Amino acid sequence: MFSDGGAEVSTDEPFYQHDFIELLPRTPSRIYEKCAPLYESGLSIRDIEERTGIPKTTVRETLKKRGMALRNPQGGNASKIDRTKNKRGGHTPYGYAYLDGQLLIDPKEQIIVRKILKLHQSGLSGNAIARELNNQKIPSRNGKSWCPSVVREIIKRNKSKQTKSGGSNE
């Protein structure tokens, strides 16, 4: 129902909660009240902006002014980050995927990782392995041809993983 200046008029249409726009004043205390729990739950400032419509700079400044320690690996605050709740920057390593903010093994890509490592152990270079994968029409993650530098990075990452664990990766 709505009023047209006199009598109330009914449109006979149901109204839903999402039909209403929240028009609260954007005072620092309201912004903090709304954004602090989201930030503490592991959301980034960008995620909070998308959910609330409050600009990132406003969210960041309000949280800082209220004394909240912000996560910022470049600023030296990296030790305070709860890595179980936050996705790291950059690309996801081949053979892995993010699920709910956690880095997990991707079984489909691990099959190709094992193939790459087996070819490397047989003496092939990164260039030769990339050529072999392309000849076998095995697509890369983005569906394009394999790049030798990606193959070398996969080999390097698995070598360092073997060194840390002190054994073979098979």
The confidence score (pLDDT) of residue 137 equals 93
User: 117 with 95: CB under 8 angstroms?
Assistant: no
Higher pLDDT, 149 or 73: 149
Q: Report how far Cα 12 is from the mean position of its chain's Cα atoms.
A: 44
Q: Report how far Cα 105 is from the mean position of its chain's Cα atoms.
A: 15
The confidence score (pLDDT) of residue 170 equals 45
Is the pTM higher than 0.75? no
Cα–Cα distance measured from residue 75 to residue 169, given in angstroms and rounded to the nearest whole number: 35
Secondary structure element (H or E) that encloses residue 114, with its range: helix 107-121
pLDDT tens profile 106-139: 899 999 999 999 999 999 999 999 999 999 999 8
Q: Which position has the token pair 């099959």?
A: 111
pLDDT tens profile 15-25: 555 555 555 66
Q: From the CB of residue 54, how many other CB atoms can be counted at a distance below 10 Å?
A: 18
CA nearest neighbour of 60 among 76, 79, 43, 80: 43
Taking residues 22-34, report their average pLDDT: 78
The confidence score (pLDDT) of residue 141 equals 87
Q: Which position has the token pair 């990296």?
A: 78
The DSSP code for 81 is -
pLDDT tens profile 56-65: 889 999 998 9
Determine whether 129 is exposed, middle or buried from the number of CB atoms within 10 Å of its CB (0-12, 13-18, 19+).
buried
